[in-house]
Amino acid sequence: MLADIAGDYRLRLADGLTEPPLRGLKLVREQRLGAVRLAREHGGAGYTVPEFFDHLIALAAADPDLAHILRVHHALVEELQIRPRRPGSQRWIAVVAEGGLIGGANSEQSQKSIGGNNRDTRLVSTPDGLRLRGQKFCSTGAQFSDHLRITAQGDDGAPTAVVIPVDRAGVEHVDDWDGIGQRQTGSGTTIFHDVEVAAEEVFPLGATIGLDRSRGALMQLYLHAVAAGILRALAADAAALVRGRRRTYTFASVDQPTADPQLLQIVGEIDAVADTAQALVRSAAAELAPALDAARDTGIDPELEKRSSIAAARVKVALQEPALRAASRVFDVGGASAIQASALLDRHWRNLRTLFSHNPTVYKARVLGDVAVNGAELPESSFF
């Protein structure tokens, strides 16, 4: 199936990557790929955490847009299985088991600090029942999902969430995402115009990060796994570029590009970065596994949550610069033809830059340094 997804991506690439991965999404639903981390007793595949991240890297290598679209869904699959169970969890577990996708809308453009629990989107009580009012920015994958999990502020000021059908009256999906990368992820604005919400669709959030709410290491490491998949595809493209060259410069060291030691060195460097990225993600996944297992078995463990968040942050700090450099170096092995817009080789750098701009690396590096030097506590945020 990954071969089918990769084939569809190549077709979209040939057309300039102007269309979303609709074929891939159809395959994801048919093969119930959204249930790979759902426990077997709930009808899922029961992948271990390392198995899941290996799968994710391979999926991102085949189609980075598709892998990114599923990020919020997979995070919610974990949230649904945390003990103690949230009200309504079993209902949504059944949706996932049947192949349904639950996207999300969380980010907002406002004056409030990013990553906090204060939101402009409101879940309000009216004489006619609960209503959702607000606007979300960068709603990755939302328009391609079957249901949406939306974070909001309740009447009492406490953070809460709801899960509703994606096509409910009053839900507006605006195709206005204009990022430089990950362009076909459906990351546009979602507007909620007085949307009706049933009481059983309210999905309460825990109050304290790291205690009854996950720190979100899965969400962070997920992005790094997508980056690792992109680097795998980049390495393959770099090798193919050199193999496909039929001429070189008059002052090159050899006549055949495939025997040129300078070109081979660059391809080797890119290959090493790609392999290192996968190794880093796998190492952090091994750190994350006990935290996710504990959350399912006995509840969120603060110490395991902290370790997994630190591990995920280290991957980001270590990976960003080598990855972006590798994505730039690919042009040094392809000659002038590699910079043709139709080749779309710049997509690798643009996609990586877009992923790394989530939760800026400079802040994560500073926190890691504070932990190392001063034994500081981690930020109370699910964005770390």
What are 318-344's pLDDT values in tens digits? 999 999 999 999 999 998 889 999 999
If asked whether residues 84 and 116 sit together in one domain, one would say no
Indicate the residue type of 347. R
Please, what is the average pLDDT of the chain?
A: 95
Query: Does the pLDDT at position 114 exceed 80?
Result: no
* Mean predicted confidence (pLDDT) in 225-232: 99
pTM over the 0.85 mark:
yes
If asked whether residues 168 and 288 sit together in one domain, one would say no
**Cα angle for residues 9, 351, 240 (degrees, 5° grid):** 55
Query: Does the pLDDT at position 111 exceed 60?
Result: no
CA 192 vs CA 162, 168, 200, 223, 347: distances in Å: 12, 10, 18, 27, 32
Give yes or no for a contact between 185 and 65, defined as CB atoms under 8 angstroms apart.
Answer: yes
Which residues have C-beta within 8 Å of that of residue 259, sequence separation ≥ 6? none
pLDDT confidence of residue 337 = 83
* Mean predicted confidence (pLDDT) in 168-184: 96
CA 208 vs CA 79, 159, 359, 374: distances in Å: 14, 11, 20, 23
Range of the domain at 178: 104-201
Query: Does the pLDDT at position 212 exceed 90?
Result: no
Can you say how many angstroms the Cα of residue 105 is from the centroid of all Cα atoms in its chain? 13
If asked whether residues 93 and 108 sit together in one domain, one would say no
* Mean predicted confidence (pLDDT) in 302-310: 97
- Residue 290's CB is within 10 A of a number of other CB atoms, namely 15
If asked whether residues 192 and 224 sit together in one domain, one would say no
If asked whether residues 180 and 124 sit together in one domain, one would say yes
Give the count of domains, the chain.
3
pLDDT confidence of residue 194 = 98
* Mean predicted confidence (pLDDT) in 361-365: 97
If asked whether residues 263 and 227 sit together in one domain, one would say yes
* Mean predicted confidence (pLDDT) in 135-163: 95
If asked whether residues 196 and 302 sit together in one domain, one would say no
If asked whether residues 97 and 117 sit together in one domain, one would say no
E strands, 232-308, are none
Domain end among 101, 117, 146 = 101
| Distance between CA atoms of residues 185 and 226, nearest Å | 13
* Mean predicted confidence (pLDDT) in 88-110: 94
| Distance between CA atoms of residues 100 and 202, nearest Å | 19
Helix axes 302-329, 361-374, angle to 10 degrees: 130
Residue with tokens 């009012």: 133
If asked whether residues 258 and 328 sit together in one domain, one would say yes
Strands 147-153 and 102-105 come out as: parallel
| Residue 145 counted as domain residue | yes
Domain end among 80, 101, 122 = 101
Domain end among 67, 101, 135 = 101
For residue 21, name the pLDDT band (cuts at 50, 70, 90). Answer: very high
For residue 86, name the pLDDT band (cuts at 50, 70, 90). Answer: confident
Residue with tokens 């309740």: 154
